Amino acid sequence: MPRLKFQTLTEQMFYTLLCLKEECCGMDILDRVPAMTEGRVSVGSGTLYTLLEQFLEADMIRETRVEGRRRSYILTKKGRDMLEREYGRIRSQAADYRRIFGEDMEVQ
């Protein structure tokens, strides 16, 4: 059975949408994702621009400005709702981990 689009988000999807809480362009996102994740996550330019097109088509973001080739975007209510669902899913996973391993369990 094929996975439904945007049922869950990859890290690149999650952080791209998170960046768009405030208006920014693709280059801003390419800089912000590694900065907000302390280098743990990065998004390649090809992946980013594919995601932006998909998010636009799904009404998760909207284009706010076009200056030559530079386009700026911002999160829509639908995109914010998706982020909130994904955050809830991640929190549930963390709660399951704590329940199974205990709050103070060290990873070995």
Instruction: Give per-residue pLDDT as tens, 34-47.
Output: 999 999 999 999 99
DSSP state of 38: T
pLDDT the model gives residue 103: 73
- Closest C-alpha to 19, from 58, 60, 54, 68: 60
Low-confidence ranges of the chain (pLDDT < 50): 1-3, 108
pLDDT the model gives residue 1: 46
pLDDT the model gives residue 105: 56
pLDDT the model gives residue 7: 82
pLDDT the model gives residue 106: 57
Domains assigned to the chain: 11-99 (1.10.10.10)
